[in-house]
Structure 1
Amino acid sequence: MTVFLVIIVIALFAVTLWQMSKIFDLSKGSDIDSSQVATDKDNKTHGMFMLLFVILLYVITIYCFWNYSKFYLPEAASEHGSHVDNLMFLSIAIIMFVQIITQGLLHWFAYKYQGRKGRKALFYADNDKLEFIWTIIPVIVLAGLIIYGLFTWSDIMNINEEEDPMIVEIYAYQFAWRARYSGEDNTLGGANVRFIEGVNQLGVDESDPYGEDDVVTTELHLPVGKPVLFKFRSQDVLHSAFFPHFRAQMNVVPGMITQFGFTPTITSEEMRSSEYMVDKVANINEIRKDNSKDLMQAGEAPLDSYEFEYYLLCNKICGQAHYNMQMKIVVESEEDYKAWLEKQQTFGEAMAAQKESQLEVSTETAEVAVVEKENN
């Protein structure tokens, strides 16, 4: 109802302005030119406005690039990330170069060749040479970008099996992630959503021997410098696994397995201690400190201090809690990674523990039933 009333108020306000403009036109003197034909003065004024507009546009553009470049992501933390960044910045450079020239000429010509009384515009039917030039140049530039992009994409997507990449499954569901490591055999066990029950949250096939040593975790640990091949599965809807600092993203589609691979090159600790991240974290904590003062005055708990971590995010709007669908990523040395992995419970151990627990419950239930029967 409130929105409807706001729309009515805005509409009435627009009608009022329109009626006021009509009154203003009626109040003009008889000596005012009301022919609605642009005069030399009108053309000169609009030409100046066009010129001023493009100058203002360039000033704003320079200001934005200068002032907001701090919001760029830091250097890529994966081997292929620099190629993605190069492709993006090359595209931006070409777009800005063309934009500056075309917008500059457009607004300058609007000023320089403004209409004047007695001046007649030149009728220029066609020019095959000009049309060829302004057609072939974009074709060459776009073809170059596309070919460069295809080679870059091919290098990223074609995983070299000879490097023996580590196989990790990323499992998505509303609204969280799970990681499944392929264990010592580096082969993931079969899985199907029909097998989801109890601790088997990913539906791993118990009859598949390759799944015995698989490790399921809620936190993704990766060894630095080790190629990783990710296999993506979704339990419910379409998700998108987004690794912003690694310049990687892949759709996670229900009913099929997609894949993407990269090699981490910067550990979490190295990124955390970089100059860029130290300044960024300090700025964030300063903002949190100011916001905490207001919260404490309102009787609420202050905000915790922020510390940088890599995160896996969902880049598809997959439901109400989409914004909170994230998993912490820890990039560390291979020794630290192996030490962490050894502490994790394998799928076989988890299922054995579940069966043992169920057996104990069944035994206790049977004993209770026998006691009750004897008492009766």
Structure 2
Amino acid sequence: MKTALIHDWLAGGNAGAEKVLFELLATLPGSPIYTMVYQPEDFRGTPLEGADVRPGLVQRLPRGVQNYRTYLPLMPYAVEQFDLTEYDLIVSSSHAVAKGVLVGAGQLHLSYVHSPIRYAWDLYQQYLREANLTSGVKATLAKMILHYIRLWDSSTANRVDVFLANSEYVAQRIWRTYRRPARVLYPPVEVSRFDPARPREDFYLTMSRLVPYKKIDLIAETFSRLGKPLVVIGGGPDWEKVKALAGPNVQLLGRQPDEVVADHMARCRAFVFAADEDFGIVPVEAQAAGAPVIAYGKGGTLETVIPNRTGVFFGQQNVESLARAVRLFEEQAGAFDPRVSRQNAERFRPERFRQEFGAIVDVAYRARQAGEDPERAVLNLPLGVQVEPA
């Protein structure tokens, strides 16, 4: 079985989607990886170093690697230029255009969807507001482009044989957007690199790319008002905004290596997470380090944080709601057992991801070979069942 992997782009950092790609490559070793752009220096020391990565049309455009997002209107065309006719199995890892690759009738296409294109669907109005594109000629052009992308994105759902979603939350959005069912396969989390047994210290922690929807500005403002110590790890376009809201009790460390992140997670009093996230790997990492989580009660965190056992939720993305959650956490701080948090995080180990994904591939391929529906076969596969390789 000849296999190929498709990923939207490989530039700008190593985040949760890329960690999924590493595990897909580990399960299907030697598969070439097709992508819009590839910046090798961002992936030194990762499984992509030395892998067969094949960037596409956008890589060859002026400043394509540095400014690849500006070429979004061209990406539907660009992803359709990959020639995948020699492969039996195609696995796309998609939060933008990867699922739209062209496939033949005899090929099997599994698409692991991190999210339908958020800035074209769920975050459409928010994206336009934050980009100051609510009126004028530029706004009209942006709306027309996103309208075209929605039409293209909807049409490409028929190119996928089996949808895999990274959470129940995303599976619901796949159904709403494409009217297709999706099998949930939670992303892999490297829980083994965190130590849950270290003593807790008197500071709160948050970590993320500093982009608007992550709401790090909200966390900084809340803790500045509360006067409680907060450490912020991460960099991005919202740096100055967060810095302006940060009081003397808020420490901004910028981007930090993995060992510094793990050290802070092992020592923090609690981890704070305010994003409406599709899954949210970082709150799981915090639990792997034994840290309770104070999280916005929407999206993937509802599937990864156990209320009043591994964390507490707040209901609205505003200062008052988050502040109430912090006070509630402090009232019951002694109720959170690091061992329970670690046990909860163990559900997302990479070994579990590889086993489940391998079983899904086997079942889908067998169904296709037998002339049966691979989607139905995958949806009917019980969780945790090991299937002998074909």
- TM-score with structure 2 length normalisation? 0.20
Higher helix share: 1
- TM-score with structure 1 length normalisation? 0.20
